[in-house]
Amino acid sequence: MGSEEDSPVMKTVKGAVMGLASGTILGTFVATWHNVSRVERHVALPALIRTLKMCGSYGVTFAALGGLQHGVEQLVQRQRKKRDYVNGAIGAFVAGAAYGYRGRSIQSAIITGSGLAFINTALYNCRNTTKVDNGKEYYAYTTEKKPAH
């Protein structure tokens, strides 16, 4: 079962599901920040429908970005036969470029893709430098006995 969870398809699905969850949460926050029109102030249903539409829109967008980023990362990893930050940077660039190209501008696609690739690389490098195994075990409590007074 361990190999099924680490398959490229499963990692892509996990990326899409995490994107859906985080996008839906972000959509909820963004929907509450918008001013409600005077007509909708005392009527709950139109405001609820608007909130659900925004949650769905953000959720689907983030799911597509997460799935695309992880899918491309897995394809690049399979082709290069290496597992390093370059795979994630290429996946993030493709996902960012796809998102940036929604405005039909190649310049915004390149800028958005480069930004996501930079953030992905920075997070990858931070994650790897903070998890260095130096052979010591750290406990939440002390294992040494205190000297008696």
What are the residue ranges in the chain where pLDDT is below 50? 1, 130-131
Q: What is the pLDDT of residue 143?
A: 63
Structure tokens at 8: 């490229």
Q: Which letter, b or e, does each residue of 86-95 get, where b requires 16 or more Cβ atoms within 10 Å of its Cβ?
A: bbbbbbbbbb
Is residue 32 within 8 A of residue 95, CB to CB? The reply is no
For residue range 13-54, list pLDDT tens digits in order: 888 888 888 888 888 888 777 666 665 566 667 777 878 888
Torsion of CA 58, 19, 116, 5, to 10 degrees: -170
Is residue 58 within 8 A of residue 86, CB to CB? The reply is no
Q: What is the pLDDT of residue 130?
A: 45
For residue 131, the 8-state DSSP code is T
Give the sign of the dihedral formed by CA 120, CA 128, CA 17, CA 86: positive
The verdict on pTM exceeding 0.75 is no
